[in-house]
Structure 1
Amino acid sequence: MNDNNGRVYIRFLGVDDTDDMLDLMLRNRELFEGVCPKRNESFYTREVQAKSIENGIKQKEEDKRYAFGIFQRETDQLIGDISLFEVQRGPHQKCILGYSMDQAHNGKGYMTEAIQLILKFAFEEVGLLRVEAGVMPRNLGSMRVLEKAGFQQEGLARKLLEINGVREDHVLFAMLVEDYLDGLK
């Protein structure tokens, strides 16, 4: 997804992105491990990153997950990733949004731009009606990003996910297609 006016663009990850994705994960390991479920040591290998990208391609074909890289337009450098996962069709027509950004690029508005691009994809291209996201209450930066992107806070899911061996609460946010369309006016 490319908005020629933005400072970032997103595109589906391919096997050619394996080394860049591994580098991103290694550079940001400490940061990401503080907000993501526990990862095995093998996660930080080229083989596992390649397999993850291959799985993402397969899941895209199955309409289950859409995994994108976030690239800085000026340099074409991979600076983060963003995905729509747990896609549910039928009466739900929803998914969960996940994302991470290289700590060297945090606080510059890049993630807000990337979220706007992926919402365009979710609502305009694959026809979803709801995009959900969950954030630990202590992750204030991520909550601000979602709010700036137009998400609305809906509640608290107690002990939703295990992070570093601890069940963590998550503040739940959602964007509806109506909210998205209203934001375009």
Structure 2
Amino acid sequence: MLTERLELKSFTPEEAEELLALRLENRQFLKALEPIRSDGYLTLAGQRTEIMQSEQGRIRDQAYVYAIRLRENGRLLGRAALTGIARGPFQNANLGYFLDEAHNGKGYMTEAVCGVLELAFAKHNLHRVQAGVMPRNAPSLRVLEKAGFRREGLAERYLKINGAWEDHVLFGITLEDWEAKTAGLQSGISV
């Protein structure tokens, strides 16, 4: 999928080195925001495994993982993923993402999240996407709000991040919310 400045596409095994380099460059930046990973995660083999697992998730309709690249030069900026997909009456996925620290604050993540939402609703036929963000992660809170998510509550000690159980603000957006937001954008009305 192409957005104004970005390309969102599934990772290929050949991109493992590039993904590893991005992860290593951002290791300190992401440390306070992510779970503690196994020793093998930040290796070439670990990133190849991650990409192969995401491909299996896509084949099983359980997860869709996207590389976030700049359209102008193809540079890898980050990753966005729809995971834990539940079908049946729920039609729901969890959204997770990260962006290269050097590219934060330029609107890329909001643009990528909006692109992933378009894929979630138009291509993957989901009805709802949810996300959780630590209350102190103000930039990520802003991304979700700008993308049209609504705050749904606080989950105490929700996820173990960097070795500690962290509270998360829970957000959700439904197909109806997304359609209202995109209709408003097309008509020039801010929703």
TM norm structure 2: 0.94
Q: What amino acid does structure 1 have at the position aligned with 2:84? A: E
Partner of 1:132: 130
Pairing partner for 1:172 from 166, 170, 173: 170
Matching of residue 182 in structure 1 with residue 177 in structure 2: no
Q: What amino acid does structure 2 have at the position aligned with 1:182? A: A
Partner of 1:49: 47
Matching of residue 2 in structure 1 with residue 2 in structure 2: yes
Q: What amino acid does structure 2 have at the position aligned with 1:2? A: L
Per-residue CA distance 1:2-28 (angstroms, 9 max, x = gap): 13xx11111011111111100010000
Gaps of 5+ in 2: 184-191
Alpha-carbon RMSD across the aligned residues, in angstroms, is 0.7
Write the distance in 1 (CA, Å) between the matches of 2:138 and 2:36.
21
CA deviation after TM superposition for structure 1 residue 73, in Å? 1.1
Number of positions where the alignment pairs a residue of Structure 1 with one of Structure 2: 183
Per-residue CA distance 1:91-149 (angstroms, 9 max, x = gap): 11000000000000000000011011110110001110000000000000000010011
Gaps of 5+ in 1: none
Pairing partner for 1:112 from 95, 107, 110: 110
Match of 1:84, SS state, is strand
Q: What amino acid does structure 2 have at the position aligned with 1:152? A: R
Pairing partner for 1:29 from 27, 36, 52: 27
Partner of 1:81: 79
Partner of 1:149: 147
Q: What amino acid does structure 2 have at the position aligned with 1:160? A: Y
